[in-house]
Structure 1
C-alpha cells in the first residue's frame, strides 16, 4: 500500500494523516473528524481550522464563493493563498471559529492534490504542536506525531513560507501576509 492510499484510508476512517502542501506539512482530517485535530494539537477552538480542496467545485461544498472570490481563485489557485469566505449553510461540522466563515485553499502540491481528488475536502492545520515551528519535512512531522498519527505522506521538503490569508466576505482584507501579496489579489480581480 502506498503512503497516499494509507492516508486516504486513515482519513476515511475518521483518523488523522500528515500530508505535504506547497507551504508546510499539514495534519489533516475529514471535516467531520476535526475535533481530533483540535485535541491532538491542543488548538483553541476559537481558532478555526482551514479546509483544503482539490478545486473550487470541491470547496463549494463547504463555502459560498462570491463572484470576486471565484475570480481570485481561478487566477491564483492552486497556490499559497487562503480565502476566508462565508461558510456554506449545509456544512454542519464544527471547524471552530465563529461558524459564519471558513478559510479555504487549493494547494499547489501534486501529491496533496492527488489525495484531495480522492478524499474530498479536508480540515487541516500545520503539522506541529501549537507554538512550535511547522514541519517542512515528513521527518520533522513524524518526530512530532509518531505514535499518534499512522499515515505520513512524504512529498519532499516544503517551502515553509505561510500562505497569505485574505478575507473576501465583505471588502478585501489581508488577514495574514504570506507568499501572495494583497496587490496580486487585487490584480486578480481585474
Structure 2
C-alpha cells in the first residue's frame, strides 16, 4: 500500500523524507517533485530497482532513465570525463532544467538499461529533490507517469497512474514553475576549448540560451 505525505506540512515533510529514504534503500520506488514535473525514482545502483521503475512506467530497457544528482561531485563520479565546456554548461544552468548526456564512468557497477555506455545527468532546482538526493546519492528518475501518458504535475496525478507500484508519494502541490520537461543535450562533443553540443529534446532551456552560454561551441 502506497503512502502519501503532504510536504506542505512540516511534520509530514520530515516523515515523508524519512520514509522515502527507507524505501529507496529497500529497492522500492518513490515519487517526488522536481523543478519540472513529478518524478519516479529508484536507486541508480540497484538493477532490480531500476527494472521496477521501468516496469511501473511500462517502459523497456531501450528507454533508460536519467540520473538526478545533488551536486557536481556526483557528476564527476558518474561521468568518464567532464571537460571545461561541460563545467561551463553546468555553471550556467544547474541546478535547473537541463539534462546532460556524457560517457559514463566505465568502472561503475550499475545497469540503467541500454545506455550504450552513456549517462544522462541532471541537478534539479528543487529543495525537496536535492535534500533527498544528498542523502540517498544518485537516483534513476523518470517522469511519474505511464508511458505515452502526460507527465504528472502532482503526486495525486502520479498516484492515479502508478498506484501501489510506488512505495512513497511526496506531494508538494502543482509542479513549478511551468511543468515543462528538461532540455536534454548530448555533451559528448564538448571539449575544454569548444566543440559541439546536440539538443536531443527541446525543453525549458532553449538552444539560443545554450549557445549564448557557451562561447566557441556549435549548438544544433
Give the alignment's TM-score, normalised by structure 2.
0.82
Contact 1:62–1:90, Cα closer than 8 Å, also in 2:
no
Structure 2 counterpart of 1:161: 180
User: What's the C-alpha RMSD, in Å, of the aligned pairs?
Assistant: 1.3
Partner SS, residue 37 of structure 2: coil
Over residues 39-98 of structure 1, what are the superposed CA-to-partner deviations in whole Å (9 max), with x where a residue is unaligned? 211212111210000111122222232221111001210000101111111222111233
- In the alignment of these two chains, the number of paired residues is 190
- Stretches of structure 2 that go unaligned for 5 or more consecutive residues are 1-13, 190-195, 216-220
Of the candidates 99, 102, 111, which is equivalent to residue 94 of structure 1?
111
**Residue 155 of structure 1: how far off its partner (Å):** 2.3
Please name the residue that 1:30 is paired with.
Answer: 43
Which structure 1 residue ranges, 5 or more long, are not aligned? none
Structure having the higher Rg: 2
Aligned match of 2:29: 16
Distance between the aligned counterparts of 1:59 and 1:126, measured in 2? Answer: 21
Q: Please, what TM-score do these two structures have when normalized by structure 1?
A: 0.95
User: Superposition pairs for residues 97-176 of structure 1, below 5 Å?
Assistant: 97-158=114-175, 159-170=178-189, 171-176=196-201
Determine which of 40, 54, 61 is the counterpart of 2:77: 61
Alignment pair present for 1:44 and 2:60 = yes
Give the secondary-structure state (helix, strand or coil) at the position aligned to 1:57: helix
The answer to whether residue 214 in structure 2 is matched with residue 189 in structure 1 is yes
Question: How far, CA to CA, are the matches of 1:186 and 1:115 in structure 2?
Answer: 32
